[in-house]
Amino acid sequence: MHRRLSRSVAVMRTTTAAALLGLCGALSIPVVAESGSGWETVQPGGETRCADGSPYRFYVRRADSERVMLFFNGGGACWSAETCDPAANPADGRFLYRMAAGADWGNDPRQLGGAFDLDNPENPFRDWTQVFAAYCTGDVHLGTADHTYTTADGGELVIAHRGRINAQAVLEYTYGAFPAARTLLVSGASAGAISSPYFAAEVAGHYPDAQVIQFAGGGGGYRMPPPESLWRNWSVFRDLPEWLQAQDYREDTTGLVDWYLAAAAAYPAIRFHQYDNAYDQVQDMFQGLLGYPAPLLPGLDANRAELEKALPHFRSYTAPGTFHTLLRYPELYSRETSGVRALDWVRDLAAGKVVDNIHCDASCGQPNSEADSRATTAAAPEGV
């Protein structure tokens, strides 16, 4: 049996070089204005696609064209027949990754809070242009090809791991629509947090005179060997940009921290930032699924120490509890650690200020709280 999830979509192999290098010239990008919302829906077409073969789309909210917030959404990941096939999901019915870009899959910024609550006067991004990159490919926005998995019954499952192709469409649109951007925040949550330093470097290369600030929420705790099988199944190391080709990174040597090191080596002016909760339940779950079950906080602290030593422009905020990510939720306005509001910390870094490293102290020893339960016990992919 040969199938692409539950949809009867013809299997299409990606010619990656053509998809990545010729994307803009091949696309006629339809933009549909959403009446009364302030957001535009952009469906780029071409080689872009979600995991299940459905169309990819992203969202744009135009405001100050000199300040642009790029946000790469989260939504889990899959790297095997067991993790990619909905039929093989856990008994509780949760999916491990977002498979489509529609509003039903948590990919619509109008349904989110935090930085996307445009009615909140405290929102530091209320007057910024916002570009919301939906995520629906199970590959942390870095995949470049379809992959065929063999299921337990001997069937074949085709997943369109085209995250980087989709993201490239988002970037090319941004470059064309906002050529005069002076400050760009390249941010991501969960899966988008992992790839955000890569995209910060891409943006820095296109806007050499702009200030580029990176912010990752909910992706800093993974402490494990290079996930070679993930990079291979997602075809991550195909058609790399020149700034990354010039460095000695391969499938078998590249860990998650290395995306920061590579981006900083190519573009040292980028300011890097991470927000994580000490007992993030989603990161803890995925680290176990990847075969490296371990308490999250020691690995998170080790990653932080490595980055602080190597990168003079790296700063982090470690909050207590089990919550996952920050910018998508009202918790952006209520979190406070060691006397510092997360909101103030984010506002300052977005303004280009040098912020302090913030770390919970004794409260890190309290992994459970009622406030944390909302995002982490919600059925995935809402919580990832």
The residue that leads in pLDDT, 13 or 320, is: 320
Q: Give 2-376's CATH code, choosing from 1.10.10, 2.30.140, 3.40.50, 3.10.450.
A: 3.40.50
- Dist. CA 68–CA 186, nearest whole Å: 8
Q: Provide the whole-model pTM.
A: 0.91
| Cα 308–Cα 230–Cα 52 angle in degrees, nearest 5 | 120
Q: How do the domains of the chain map onto residue ranges?
A: 2-376
Between 248 and 103, the more confident residue is 248
Q: Is the dihedral of CA 337, 259, 72, 220 positive or negative?
A: negative
pLDDT tens profile 226-249: 999 999 999 999 999 999 999 999
Note every long-range contact of 202-210, with CB atoms under 8 Å and residues 24 or more positions apart, other chains counting.
Answer: 202/171, 202/241, 203/70, 203/171, 204/263, 204/266, 204/267, 204/269, 204/270, 205/241, 205/243, 205/266, 205/267, 206/171, 206/175, 207/181, 209/182, 210/181, 210/182, 210/183, 210/184
pLDDT at 378 over 70: no
Strands 336-337 and 340-341: antiparallel
> Residue 33: which pLDDT band, with cuts at 50, 70 and 90?
low
User: Per residue, what are the HEC states of 280-298?
Assistant: CHHHHHHHHHCCCCCCHHH
Mean pLDDT of 344-366: 93
Lowest mean pLDDT among 245-254, 322-331, 358-367: 358-367
The mean pLDDT of 367-381, rounded to a whole number, is: 47
pLDDT of amino acid 18? 46
pLDDT digits (tens, 9 = 90+) for 292-327: 999 999 999 999 999 999 999 999 999 999 999 999
| Res 88: pLDDT | 76
